[in-house]
Structure 1
Amino acid sequence: MTDERLPLYQRLRDDMLAKIASGEWSPGIAIPTEAELTKQYGVAVGTLRRAVDTLVQDGLMERSQGRGTFIRRPNFDGSLFRFFRQVDPQGGRRVPTGEVLSRSLESADETVAGALALPLGADVICLERVRQIDGRNVYYEDIWLPYRPFAALLDIAPEDFGNLLYPFYESECGQLIGAARETLTVEMADDRIANILGIESGKPVVVIERLATGYDGGPLEYRQSRGDAQTFRYQVNIS
């Protein structure tokens, strides 16, 4: 376990996170039982439960009555569509599909390097991606990934990327996304973005910046998604 200055339950929590990040414990799979873990770590059951409680509260694990405690797989793609709503002529909700247009090796600029905690100019993999409904582009995305963990993606043709990227990162690179933080802003579409989205230049677009991290908290993906502001709807339930 790490950093002896930390409380025992927190060191235990960090060790569990390391098992998830390394793939030893996989999302959707139950972790060992309390009896097994207390024996493995040599700790009291109360300490173990406190460590697991923090991971449950953080949304990284979930308990299932009578079945055990499981590594939770977050639904990140669902978060975008809480904000952007697309409907068909009958009012039915539509979920866009994703298509990677290109992938390339680039040098990180100040923004990307800062987001991914990399040195300025470090190698990063850049994905250019659109999301479509009936062949029409409704979102445009720039995605940056640190080179070393995702190097295998450079050997994969853009058309062979999956519709959902996070399961693809996991299957092809062994990288698990555990959490993400999103920031929403508005800007005016330049000629390039306007052409991609099929709107007039100068029209407002919503920009969603997402920083996705691994289960160990390290940054794994920085993404900018842009969509027509006229399709943007913000909804939150307050209780």
Structure 2
Amino acid sequence: MTSFAPDSIVLNRKLPLWYQVSQSLRASILGRSPQDPLRLPTEEQLAGHYGVSVLTMRQALKELEDEGLITRHRRRGTFIEPGVQRGAPVRLLGSVDAIVAQQSGMVAKLLEHGSSPVSGELAEYFADVDEVATYHRLRADERTGEPTNHARNYVRPELAERIGLDDLARWPMTKVLRDLVGVRIGRITDTVEARLADPETARLLQVPLLSPILHYTGVTYDEDGQVLDVAVIHYRGDRFSFTVTLDAD
């Protein structure tokens, strides 16, 4: 049986190591193929993979266990929970892997893609181009099929040539740009607002008109400060909450 192989990450020493490891593992678990095994490697093997202590690894696994993604059994090992509900809080702690993890475990349907002129709202981000590539996707829980959010991404046109549409059905744009297109992400600025569902959002997310939603805007920059992608996402208010953790340092 093929062993579970979580993604490798470069750990940021300014963030709690257990958190970064848990988010990387979460993304790997939710992005796994149905035929992949449910049993995880041992704590020692995972700790060696990430280059952290066993104590840090245990703390990361406890976070996933508390969330209901895994179960741990003495002497038998650690197993991915096959019936887990993928809807989860929106959590922001400064890690790109946290954003990847947030949107993994969902299936995405590409509603439309193409190009559009840079509108007034986007002009501050794309001052040097006249058009941007656009992608509109509807995400749903992969087990229940229930819609969870719909997202529009506005991407620099020169990157669009390297974005595979099939990849967007599985992965969030952040992962596609970083791991598949190969750009080096410097930072992501996130804004979350409480809004009411407009007619399009109500129809796509199957919620009543004017029901509460979370309106998220994420701006992705490269290491030189150039904007790569602007994501506008509408989350169902009954499926997501918003949590921010601040490091005292």
- The one of 125, 150, 174 equivalent to 1:166 is 174
> Any idea what the Cα deviations from partners look like across 1:132-164, whole Å, max 9, x if unmatched?
1122211010110011233333xx4x3453511
Q: For 1:75, what is the secondary structure of its paired residue?
A: helix
What amino acid does structure 2 have at the position aligned with 1:180? I
Taking the TM superposition and a 5 Å limit, the aligned residue runs for 1:181-220 are 181-220=189-228
- The one of 113, 117, 120 equivalent to 2:123 is 113
Contact 2:106/2:170 (8 A) holds in 1? no
Change (3 A) 1:108 1:161: same
> Any idea what the Cα deviations from partners look like across 1:36-75, whole Å, max 9, x if unmatched?
xxxxxxxxxxxxxxxxxxx85499xxx958xxxxxx9633
What amino acid does structure 2 have at the position aligned with 1:140? H
Q: For 1:112, what is the secondary structure of its paired residue?
A: coil
Distance in structure 2 (CA, Å) of the matches to 1:198 and 1:209: 21
Q: CA deviation at 1:78?
A: 3.0
1:104 matched to 2:114 = yes
Distance in structure 1 (CA, Å) of the matches to 2:224 and 2:15: 12
Q: Which runs of 4+ in 1 moved over 6 A?
A: none
- The one of 133, 138, 152 equivalent to 1:142 is 152
- The one of 207, 226, 230 equivalent to 2:234 is 226
What amino acid does structure 1 have at the position aligned with 2:176? F
Q: For 2:207, what is the secondary structure of its paired residue?
A: coil
Distance in structure 2 (CA, Å) of the matches to 1:226 and 1:152: 26
What amino acid does structure 2 have at the position aligned with 1:185? E
Contact 1:138/1:228 (8 A) holds in 2? yes
Q: CA deviation at 1:28?
A: 4.8
Contact 2:156/2:228 (8 A) holds in 1? yes
Instruction: Please identify the structure whose Cα radius of gyration is greater.
Output: 1
Q: For 2:238, what is the secondary structure of its paired residue?
A: helix
Give the number of aligned pairs.
165
Contact 1:185/1:207 (8 A) holds in 2? yes
Q: CA deviation at 1:80?
A: 6.4
Distance in structure 1 (CA, Å) of the matches to 2:202 and 2:233: 13
Higher mean Cα deviation, 122-131 or 213-222?
213-222
Q: CA deviation at 1:106?
A: 1.0
Structure number with the higher helix fraction is 1
Q: CA deviation at 1:110?
A: 1.2
Give structure 2 stretches of 5+ with no counterpart. 1-7, 17-49, 53-94
User: Residue 85 of structure 1 aligns with which residue?
Assistant: none
Distance in structure 2 (CA, Å) of the matches to 1:109 and 1:177: 24
User: Residue 63 of structure 2 aligns with which residue?
Assistant: none
Distance in structure 2 (CA, Å) of the matches to 1:75 and 1:214: 17
- The one of 101, 114, 121 equivalent to 1:78 is 101
Contact 2:96/2:188 (8 A) holds in 1? no
What amino acid does structure 2 have at the position aligned with 1:141? A
Give structure 1 stretches of 5+ with no counterpart. 1-26, 31-54, 66-71, 82-94
Change (3 A) 1:171 1:230: closer
Higher mean Cα deviation, 131-140 or 165-174?
165-174
What amino acid does structure 2 have at the position aligned with 1:195? R
What amino acid does structure 2 have at the position aligned with 1:213? Y
